[in-house]
Amino acid sequence: MHEIICPHCKKAFKVDEAGYADILKQVRDGKFEQELHDRLALAEQDKLNAVELARSQLASESQRSAAGKDAEIQSLKAKLDAGETARKLAVAEALSAVEKQRDALANELEQAKRDKQAATELADAKLVNGLQTAAAAKDAEIQGLKARLDAIAVAQKLAITEAVSQVERERDELKSGLSRAELEKQLAEKSLKDKYETQIKDRDEAIERLRDMKVRLSTKMVGETLEQHCETEFNRIRATAFPRAYFEKDNDARSGSKGDYIFRDTDEAGTEIVSIMFEMKNESDRTATKNKNEDFLKELDKDRAEKGCEYAVLVSLLEPDSELYNTGIVDVFHRFPKMYVVRPQFFLPMITLLRNAAMNSLKYKSELALVKAQSIDITNFEADLDTFKNAFAKNYDLASRRFQTAIDEIDKSIDHLQKTKEALLGTDRNLRLANDKAQEVTIKKLTRGNPTMAGKFADLKDEAP
């Protein structure tokens, strides 16, 4: 397939090999016509050049003939005296030859003009015929191209229609898919809702059963049930989370009271990290009086102190409707130090939090001990530094006084040298003045007012050779 741009509408379209060959043939025919037209133009130019050459030759020959005639006229004039008849005959013959040559050249020129006109008419006829043929071929080609463009337009319309139909089908399928998805979503939501409602219903029924069971249990049995729950929960993670921990019931009642459980954890060196005294109180404990959590805090703090535990935690189901205790871990440090009240679900998180805090505290304690040791070193260093500073200050003060004494002596020496300098400068001035005065001394000045010395100098002057 070849792509061709229409010269009229400037649109690109593709044609097959046969159509391209036809168009190429037409282009070649047009090129042939162009070459023919060019060659006719060259032939016309050649004819014009031939006519111009003939004219030049005719003019040259006319000039040569005129020159010959002039020579002959001169000869005839020379021979005029020989005989008028012979002269006239020669003149007539010469004129006849010239006229013949002129007529022949005129005939040739006319024939050339007729040949040129015929050739021009023939070339024009061929050119018109060729142009008409080319125009007819181009019209046919244009009609064919228009037909192909129409076919292409129809094909494009069909393709667009099919594409629109495909898009509409995909749109309808998407709508249908969205509807199915929405329906599936609604069904899933309904299924989840039913599932959760069923679970909630089962949970409510389990809670009711537990409540009924707790009502039927005795106070001791209910308390032991909470303790067993906490112990079971701890033993479930003991091996992984607290491999070196101690978690046992408090059986030491020598002081008159005891807690429920004691938790202790140590590091690899056997150093205790954290210790916790636990007390478990169920909501059915002492059902007759319905005590509150606060009623057990004082005794729990006492047990913590007697058993040497760092923290005390009350795991309680008392006051089930209290928003304070139902929100999470409650710190009661305002009543007793390092004491917390939690629900059973926060039993293990409470141990983890206190242990992690103790681990951080242990690290901080180690760092604090290191800092204290460094502080002692810094204190010793500062003491040594103070001793050095005092000794240095003493030596500096002594050196400063001696330096000041030396400065004073230097100043005195400078004053003495300055005075010596001034004395020397004064001597220099006096010597310069003396030299100036010595330079001004002359014999005339010395003998002025002294006739004896003037005579002596005159005699010496006369005795000089």
The confidence score (pLDDT) of residue 353 equals 92
The confidence score (pLDDT) of residue 219 equals 40
Consecutive 10-residue averages of pLDDT for the chain (465 residues): 65 68 65 70 78 77 75 73 65 68 73 74 69 70 72 71 74 75 78 77 72 48 72 92 91 79 89 92 64 90 93 92 88 93 93 88 70 68 73 74 76 77 74 73 66 70 63
The confidence score (pLDDT) of residue 86 equals 61
Please spell the DSSP secondary structure of 209-256, one letter per residue: HHHHHHHHS-HHHHHHHHHHHHHHHHHHHHHHH-TT-EEEE----TTS
The confidence score (pLDDT) of residue 366 equals 67
The Cα-based distances of 42 to 9, 57, 89, 121, 387 in angstroms read 36, 22, 49, 15, 124
The confidence score (pLDDT) of residue 70 equals 73
Domain residues of the chain, as ranges?
Answer: 139-223, 226-375
The residues, any chain, with a CB within 8 Å of residue 329's CB and separated by 6 or more, are: 340, 341, 342, 346, 349, 350, 353
The residues, any chain, with a CB within 8 Å of residue 313's CB and separated by 6 or more, are: 276, 277, 278, 279, 339, 340, 341, 342, 350, 354
**pTM of this structure:** 0.36
Angle at 112 between CA 109 and CA 118, to 5 degrees: 145
| Element of type H or E holding 331 | strand 330-331
Report the interhelical angle of 17-78 vs 84-216 (nearest 10°): 160
The confidence score (pLDDT) of residue 332 equals 93
Backbone dihedral angles phi then psi of residue 82, each to the nearest 5 degrees: -70, -35
Whether 120 and 44 have beta carbons less than 8 Å apart is answered as: yes
Residue type, 220: K
From CA 220, how far away is CA 203, in angstroms rounded? Answer: 26
